[in-house]
Amino acid sequence: MPCQVKFLLVGLIGHGYWGKTIYPKLKKLSDVKFICTSKDTYVDKLNEVDWVVVCTPNQTHYDIVKKCLWFGKNVFCEKPLTPTEKQS
């Protein structure tokens, strides 16, 4: 029986330094459905994906990750997850 690989449906939030570094590797491993820059909204696109990769400035991680988890998405976030222990 041949091995069947299901590509993950992924959204990338942040297309700055780290987003541009991660994107080429991410597209080899998954089906990237959207890339959001600082000017884009991502909430309306969350239904298209199973995973969200967050590559935004550190101070934005908490709100973005919280919202994605609220929508039931798996999240990979560049470190640090949050700027404070309490938020984590």
Tens of pLDDT along the chain (88 residues) come to 555 555 789 999 999 999 999 999 999 989 999 999 988 899 999 999 999 999 999 999 999 999 999 999 999 998 888 888 888 8
**pTM here?**
0.87
Beta strands in 1-87 (DSSP E): 8-13, 30-36, 51-54, 74-77
Which residues does 41 contact at the CB level (< 8 Å), separation at least 6? none
Instruction: Output the CA–CA distances (angstroms, integers) from residue 35 to 2, 18, 77, 88, in the order listed.
Output: 32, 13, 15, 25
